[in-house]
Amino acid sequence: MKIKNYKDIDKYIDNFSGDTRKKLEDIRKTIKSVVPKEATEKISYGIPTYYLNGNLLHFAGYKAHIGFYPGSASITEFKKELAAYKTSRGTVQFPHDKPLPLDLIRKIAGICVERNQTKKKN
């Protein structure tokens, strides 16, 4: 799979239409409501990324789902809440035929922020 070189997250999201675009906008807005102002948005590995003392989390649009990449510790910690979704090491797939669990995404993003802020202190 070839990684496209998007300049920023806006350009990435502009590449999508319809429900996928709306979900990408919603997940971005949800993440931005949690991350501190010093966190930065960028494209890394060809997908939207939040960075705070290292990679914080990523998300991406696909034909059948939205990919959310909070890391393996978050997948383990929220295993019960994520049971309805396909997961693998560090990855969750939110299918397009279900609403995005924005409250859960907000909680996971908050835990990711806590972990990365701890990195700064150590």
Q: Where are the domains of the chain?
A: 9-116
- Condensed to tens digits (0 to 9), the pLDDT of residues 7-41 reads 899 999 999 999 999 999 999 999 999 999 999 99
More confident: 4 or 114 = 114
* pLDDT given at position 3: 52
Mean pLDDT of the chain: 91
- Mention the CATH class of domain 9-116: alpha beta
Tens digits of per-residue pLDDT, 49-66? Answer: 999 988 899 999 999 999
What is the four-CA torsion angle of 10, 14, 16, 20, rounded to 10 degrees?
50
**Beta-carbon count within 10 A of 21 CB:** 14
Q: Is the pLDDT of residue 2 over 50?
A: no
Q: Where does residue 26 rank: exposed (0-12), middle (13-18), buried (19+ CB within 10 A)?
A: middle
Q: What is the pLDDT of residue 120?
A: 62
The pLDDT of residue 81 is above 60 = yes
